[in-house]
């Protein structure tokens, strides 16, 4: 009988899923690194957290970029991909809220202030959750 973890990791060799998984991983890596190392992005990130009124903004300011980078590693490798996609979806739901709650367009220097990007990435995360890691994933390679 298959374990729950094996069922959770089950996927098919689908290239479209693999491309989407890796693309979302690139988005998460770039945004995590930008929040840490690009001053304009870091200032915008702090402004978004402050104006949105999200709780624990100081902790979130420092922890979330590292969580984004860790999630990108999960997505790049395709190991426990569905866990990574759940993180993506939760992050994008929060980002959608921030886009709706913050009315200062200068706090979104790299994207529209409407929640277009978070909603698209949320849908891609949901697709990966549904289909699994797809092609080139460790989930696929280690369960064959």
Using alpha carbons, select from 2, 4, 11 the residue that is nearest to residue 81.
Answer: 11
Is the model's pLDDT at 24 over the cut of 90? yes
* pTM metric for this prediction: 0.94
For the stretch 102-105, contacts whose Cβ atoms lie closer than 8 Å and that sit 24 or more positions apart, written own/partner, are 102/47, 102/48, 102/51, 102/52, 103/51, 104/47, 104/51
Split into its structural domains, the chain has a count of 1
Kindly state the percentage of the chain with pLDDT values over 90: 92
Region for residue 100 given its phi and psi (left: phi exceeds 0; alpha: psi -120 to 50; beta: otherwise): alpha
Q: Where residue 2 falls among pLDDT bands split at 50, 70, 90?
A: confident
Mean pLDDT of 7-25: 96
Count of beta carbons in the 10 Å neighbourhood of residue 1: 3
For position 143, what pLDDT does the model report?
A: 80
> C-alpha angle with apex 107: 104 to 111, nearest 5 degrees?
110
Phi, psi of 130 (to 5 degrees): -70, -45
Mean pLDDT of 73-86: 97
Domain that holds residue 75: 4-143
Is the model's pLDDT at 1 over the cut of 80? no
């Amino acid at each position: 009988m298959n374990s729950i973890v094996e069922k959770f990791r089950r996927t098919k060799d689908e290239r479209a899923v693999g491309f989407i998984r890796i693309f979302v991983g690139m988005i998460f890596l770039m945004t995590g690194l930008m929040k840490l190392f690009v001053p304009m992005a870091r200032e915008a990130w702090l402004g978004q957290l402050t104006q949105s009124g999200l709780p624990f903004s100081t902790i979130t300011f420092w922890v979330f970029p590292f969580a984004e980078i860790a999630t990108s590693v999960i997505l790049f490798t395709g190991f426990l991909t569905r866990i990574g996609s759940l993180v993506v979806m939760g992050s994008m739901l929060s980002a959608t809220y921030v886009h709706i709650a913050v009315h200062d367009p200068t706090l979104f220097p790299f994207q529209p202030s409407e929640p277009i990007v978070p909603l698209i990435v949320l849908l891609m995360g949901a697709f990966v959750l549904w289909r699994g890691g797809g092609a080139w994933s460790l989930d696929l390679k280690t369960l064959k």
